A and B are shown apart, each in its own frame.
Chain A
């Protein structure tokens, strides 16, 4: 079941999330003094990532994407369902198994300012993963760190400096280089560029793409920014209030979204061109994401759904009362919308970004 170490991999699933649900018991009262007990952060989520492929998880606050990342990182356990790495359940790993898992799955986090240890020099923090796993001599570790630093566009002289000497973009490069020290198979990137200036985002995205190709890495990219996912990922899964609402090829989803939430996210991206004398309204999604403690009935998205506003009474009622299943709708994509077909019919290719 597991891949071969010489790189001739069968196209199996490297990572598989199977029907994962995660509940948190919450002993608090909400604003209206009703007692609520269970926060369902993830609701029957399934996805899979093949070796050397890239998958993006798109979601805003409350979507459950961070919980998903934590579960994959073995920082939380699912309430139901399982996560498999190379065909084996990660929750059943013994200590050796966990250590091996950690070698193969590394992380790049959002905040370049808090994700690097402040008191360690770059040399130390980069050598640390190898030291923990007992790999190489100190000199070999330093050499490897120097190589990777150069590969990400920094200088080997930077080894002796400390994180605070670097800008946000440079720290993110260091984080990426550190993540590559153990030669992992999978890099989990949680909002890898959100904290950076747009001009630096382009640099880091380009770097991530090059590294993915050079090292045959798989990426699981979590982001609220669809553009990042579209650029880096073959496939995507869009999440809302703990459920996947659309899944499939990233470029197709961008061109012709199969779920109204995806469509609204795309339209929220400000266009780059100036429309003469005309203010383009950006927001296509009224209100805020409801609290995961009180998810709306039926389709969780129904109170804010622009498509539902166009439906007749009977159809609209269905959205409120009947939970839509995630089902195949078009060229390999799935959507959790009762009226996905209607949406697809309506659309021309979406006007996201600078088109």
Chain B
């Protein structure tokens, strides 16, 4: 599924953490690509490796973490082979980042103006005055009311939703080609989550950047993403167009994720279908499929060997010994 016109290509990424308990693999042979102007949703529970994947892409893995193998081609150049300063130029500039908790991503003792100018002058080389204008423009773009007033404020004076808008404005201010948003709405109230998702989608259409949206919440992805990557235990379990993933999930894990999310909306408690058990312990990963212990379809072969990602259909691939039947509909 490597595309022409891909702005990002990740090939065979492997990242582990070296601890006194041994090596903990967090990302295991992950490959995918992101086309220009599209949104890729990376979905997985905590511990699936989705965040470590993003950190690896941006060159943010430090000891005890280690990117053992793989290439991350951004516009054709391998980020992992770049020098530190080249990576720093890229991060916050061509590749913008929006993280989950703006209160810990924003510097609490710097005014909004200072945080934004700092980034803008660093990446675009603007003068202080021009950086300020650019900051106001970005804040306006993300719908922050009275942007000039906001510049003087500090993060603690803003609501959660506004802080997240500021984070997005910072990412936007340097004309990124790609924005990586890791759980951008998780800490927010439901109505504000909706606003932020609408905002990201609108900006993407207007400006044309590519977006990687990392989340544990499938419903966020259903509405926004063109393609979806499902991760579990550090591995890619399924990937494809959003439509195919939702209407025809092939991997039992994807199916179970969809079920457990949608069944919360039920009127009847007996319909609630959580996935029993918990995510695998990275210290004790089974040799085969990481989902085997919790999978209703698992056979002995599943425990022994992790199948390769196989293309089952146009724009739809799965890594499973027993993929669900093609016509299978999610129980919505």
Contacts and interface: CB of A to CB of B under 8 A. Distances in A.
Partners in one complex: yes
B247 to A, nearest CB: 7
Contact of A199 (B198, B219, B274): B274
Interface string A315-355: 00000000000000000000000000000000000001111
Interface string A167-211: 111100000000000000000000000000111111101100100
A303 B206 CA distance: 28
Nearest to A282: B194
Contact of A200 (B45, B219, B243): B45
B229 to A, nearest CB: 16
A268 B216 contact: no
Nearest to A207: B274
A199 B46 CA distance: 10
Given A268-B194, A282-B194, A199 B260 contact: yes
Contacts of A228: 264
Interface in B257-295: 257-258, 260-267, 269, 272-276, 278-279
A240 B260 CA distance: 30
B195 A283 contact: yes
A12 interface: no
B263 to A, nearest CB: 6
A279 interface: yes
A284 B216 CA distance: 23
A285 B188 CA distance: 14
B275 A268 contact: no
Given A227-B265, A274-B243, A283-B194, A288 B161 contact: yes
Contact of B219 (A202, A264, A271): A271
A61 interface: yes
B222 interface: yes
B217 interface: yes
Nearest to A193: B264
B230 to A, nearest CB: 12
B197 A282 contact: yes
Contacts of B274: 199-200, 202-203, 205-206
B242 interface: yes
B93 to A, nearest CB: 28
B120 interface: no
A205 B246 CA distance: 24
B190 interface: yes
A231 B216 contact: no
Contact of B194 (A61, A167, A284): A284
A199 B243 contact: no
A272 B218 contact: yes
Interface in A47-104: 60-61
A61 B45 contact: no
Interface in B208-224: 216-220, 222-224
Contact of B242 (A203, A274, A281, A354): A274
B14 to A, nearest CB: 24
A251 interface: yes
A280 interface: yes
Nearest to B152: A31
A270 B217 CA distance: 10
A307 interface: no
B127 interface: no
Interface in A222-260: 224-228, 230-231, 251
A354 B46 contact: no
B107 interface: no
Contact of B190 (A202, A225, A274, A280): A225
Given A227-B265, A270-B223, A274-B242, 17 more contacts: A60-B191, A167-B47, A198-B218, A199-B216, A199-B261, A224-B190, A225-B190, A264-B191, A272-B262, A273-B332, A281-B198, A283-B191, A284-B194, A285-B195, A287-B145, A289-B159, A354-B332
Interface of A: 31, 60-61, 167-170, 197-203, 205-206, 209, 224-228, 230-231, 251, 264-265, 268-274, 276, 279-285, 287-289, 352-355
Q: Rank and list the top 6 A-B pairs by shortest CB-CB distance, nearest first.
A: A353-B265, A202-B274, A282-B194, A60-B189, A270-B219, A203-B274
